[in-house]
Amino acid sequence: MRQPAAARPWHPIPIVDCREPLIPLPPQLLRLTPHPYETLGAPYGDQPSPFLLRQGVVDRLLQAQDALQTLQPGWRLAIFDGWRPIAVQQFMVTHTIQQLCVEQGVDVGVPSADLNRVTAEVGRFWAPPSQDPATPPPHSTGAAVDLTLADGTGLPLPMGGAIDAIGPVSEPDHYAQRAAAEPDGEAAGWNRNRQLLARVMAAAGFARHPNEWWHFSVGDQLWAWLSQAPSARYGRVDP
């Protein structure tokens, strides 16, 4: 199957890996389980839990949660996904293209303009499963995390769209205009939650993916590109 094009504007940024280890998320950080990709059958094999991140990334997540709780006591960060091996990235890209083709009535086995369109749309949200160590998918570095907000009971808060949704609804400011027009409306609440998540993550040094309200990273090539850093400090890592 044809995969999303590999070119990303951050790929030329050099990586000088600091060799921090991957570590499990501490109990202070809520894990959203069962893990959705494992449930789909993604090939983790005998690899450890996906709820792993680099040591420095975990430290910054705890800082972000502290910032959140000063603004909303009792609320927590809820982690959807962390470290992701290349095989799982490949599986999920293929799965997402196939799923979108089924939803839109596109034959995934026949080259067509519609298949190209679906593939390009998936490529806006899913990084290519590159095996090149110079162009690692963000999650393979242990520097990227997908997450949302949860209330004091651990229930995820409404964000106006699911994590991994393909389309404009996933763009961080998708509800900004509706929120401005109807400040007491449902969309305004979704927008506030998205902006609160972005605010506390930025305060801890994270950068947000331009197309995804849920994806944040620190130290990888995407972060370096968004932060205008000369190099990334996290490359692809295996436990």
Active site residues: 212
Its sign, for the CA torsion 230, 133, 51, 226, is: positive
> Distance of alpha carbon 69 from its chain centroid, rounded?
22
Kindly report each contact of residues 43-50 with a partner whose C-beta sits within 8 Å and lies 24 or more positions away, as own/partner.
43/87, 43/88, 43/91, 44/85, 44/87, 44/88, 45/87, 47/85, 47/239, 48/22, 48/24, 48/239, 49/24, 50/81, 50/82, 50/83, 50/84, 50/88
Among left, alpha and beta (phi > 0; psi -120 to 50; other), residue 160 is left
Written as six digits, the tokens of 22 are 């991957």
Q: Which residue has the tokens 């769209």?
A: 161
**CA distances for 236 relative to 84, 111, 137, 147, 188, angstroms:** 10, 32, 8, 20, 38
* Positive or negative: CA dihedral 203, 205, 210, 216: negative
